[in-house]
Amino acid sequence: MSDKLVIIDYGMGNHFSVQKKLNQLGYDGVITNNPELISKAEKIILPGVGHFGKAMENLKRLNLIDILNKEVLQKKKPILGICLGMQLMASSSDEGNTKGLNWINAIVEKFNITDQLKYKVTHTGWNQTKQLKNSKLLNGITDSPEFYFVHTYHFKCNDNTDVLCSTYYETEFISAIERDNIFGVQFHPEKSHNIGMQLIKNFIEL
């Protein structure tokens, strides 16, 4: 499956951490921004850390938006967005006041925390998720699992049917999404030990 699973490289991802987890599961994943390789893939992972606006600039500069739209929206290939990669699927973000890929009717907002002694921003560390609908992405994962988070901004869907999981951090926020072939997680499964590896395995085997 070496060329069947691609990890999109747009200069802002934790690509090697994701690739390492794939290898541990017995799968190969190609790190690439080559449209030809992306077009041949069966599944796509879009990781990411950093600034939303800069990420969209990089995707445009590397001519990745059109090929991603074609593969995801037209060919309906499964894609997993991780952290910033999930946020890029939204219509827009307050971070840089920038338009996103617009695959999900949503905006990305900064945490508005009242109790800043108890709830720090950036939200960093382990936190539970609550599953809100059935999904093959979560097969074999126990109720209220803990995943590892590192983020300052969070997803806000305009269509609640897109929400897969929520997490409490002073208030509820969206921690995973799913619409058809589009999957996104705000947490880092590649840093979430066995549960994270199970989620990645589930995505590969969809």
Domains and CATH numbers, the chain: 5-204 (3.40.50.880)
Q: What is the mean pLDDT of the chain?
A: 95
Within 13 Å, how many C-alpha atoms sit on residue 126's CB side?
A: 8
178 noted as active-site residue = no
Judge whether residue 151 has pLDDT over 80: yes
Q: Distance (Å, rounded) from C-alpha 159 to C-alpha 96?
A: 23
Judge whether residue 143 has pLDDT over 90: no
Report CA Rg, the chain: 16
Judge whether residue 104 has pLDDT over 70: yes
Which residues lie below 8 Å from residue 163, measured CB to CB, with a gap of 6+?
132, 133, 157, 174, 176, 177
Which residues lie below 8 Å from residue 36, measured CB to CB, with a gap of 6+?
none
What was the pLDDT predicted at 14?
83
151 noted as active-site residue = no
Among 71, 95, 178, 190, the active-site one is 190
136 DSSP 8-state letter: G
- At residue 78 the predicted structure's pLDDT band, cuts being 50, 70 and 90, is very high
Q: Distance (Å, rounded) from C-alpha 90 to C-alpha 113?
A: 22
Hey, what are 11's tokens? 């200069």
Q: Distance (Å, rounded) from C-alpha 197 to C-alpha 130?
A: 18
Which residues lie below 8 Å from residue 134, measured CB to CB, with a gap of 6+?
none
Tens of pLDDT, residues 116-125: 999 999 999 9
190 noted as active-site residue = yes
Among 83, 123, 151, 154, the active-site one is 83
Tens of pLDDT, residues 11-35: 997 899 999 999 999 998 999 999 9
Q: What does pTM read for this prediction?
A: 0.96
CB-neighbour burial class of residue 152 (10 A; exposed 0-12, middle 13-18, buried 19+): exposed
Judge whether residue 1 has pLDDT over 50: no
